[in-house]
Copies of this chain bind each other. A is one copy, B any other.
Amino acid sequence: MFFVARAQTHRTKAKSVAPRRTRLDVDARRAQLVALGLEHFGDRSYDEVSLEDIARAAGISKGLVYHYFPTKKHYFVATVREAADRLVARALADEDGPPPLRLLRGLDAYLDYVRAHARAYVTLMRSGGLDPELSAIVDETRQLFLERITSGLRDAPEPEIARQREAPLMRLALRGWCGMVETMSVEWVAGGCVTPQAQVRDVLVSSLVEVLRAATAPALGA
């Protein structure tokens, strides 16, 4: 009884804190909750975020949050998936102009996004292996970037790079370069972004150009 009384008091309190309870349809409510998740998980650790806080911020009951996400982990995974979708959408938004320029803009968008969601990015990348669902999101996202780079190489001015774009060495080298992007991004934001973003980006661009050249060298007998 004591617990019931406490819970009721608490619920009454929660109501008075967030009085603007609103009725949204299912998709809109889900989207609202995920957007709140991006905000909350973006600058707090997993343990610091509670579904109670989320319910309060959304102006709904905790029970209703559980209706959409059976556990906090489900909620977190949905949030990470949304974050990954947004990252891809921004980094691959630019479909015009020559590939090198698109790469430059894409990397800038990537680094912008990483910097704006520093804490979440670092946590996710450092603990990627912890959970199969989270690793899958990270892997799929990386795969999308790799496919975009590979298809962009179709129009590379160097015919050998275009020809070798799907060769095992090229795939391996590009995968390695993606590892470099992720590692530099994590270290950059974890260290408080002291290095200017343009310098980080330029090192990555130069490295990619060299990786493409080096990965075609064996085919050229160099």
User: Do A187 and B172 touch across chains, with their CB atoms under 8 A apart?
Assistant: yes
Q: How many residues of A contact B (CB 8 A)?
A: 41
Is there an interface contact between A214 and B187, defined as CB atoms closer than 8 Å? no
Mark A181-208 against chain B: 1 for CB-CB distance below 8 A, else 0.
1111001100100111001101110110
List 21 interface pairs A-B (beta carbons < 8 Å), by A numbering: A126-B129, A129-B130, A169-B195, A169-B199, A169-B200, A172-B187, A172-B188, A172-B200, A176-B183, A176-B187, A176-B207, A177-B180, A180-B180, A183-B183, A196-B218, A202-B214, A206-B210, A206-B211, A206-B214, A207-B207, A209-B210
A115 to B181 CA separation, bound complex (whole angstroms) = 24
Report chain B residues within 8 Å CB of A218: 196, 199, 202
9 closest A-B pairs by CB: A179-B183, A176-B184, A210-B210, A206-B214, A127-B129, A180-B180, A176-B180, A203-B214, A179-B179
Asked if residues A202 and B217 are in contact (CB atoms below 8 Å), the reply is: yes
Residue of B with least CB distance to A168: B195
A44 → B minimal CB distance (Å): 18
A203 to B176: give the CA distance in the assembly, Å: 10
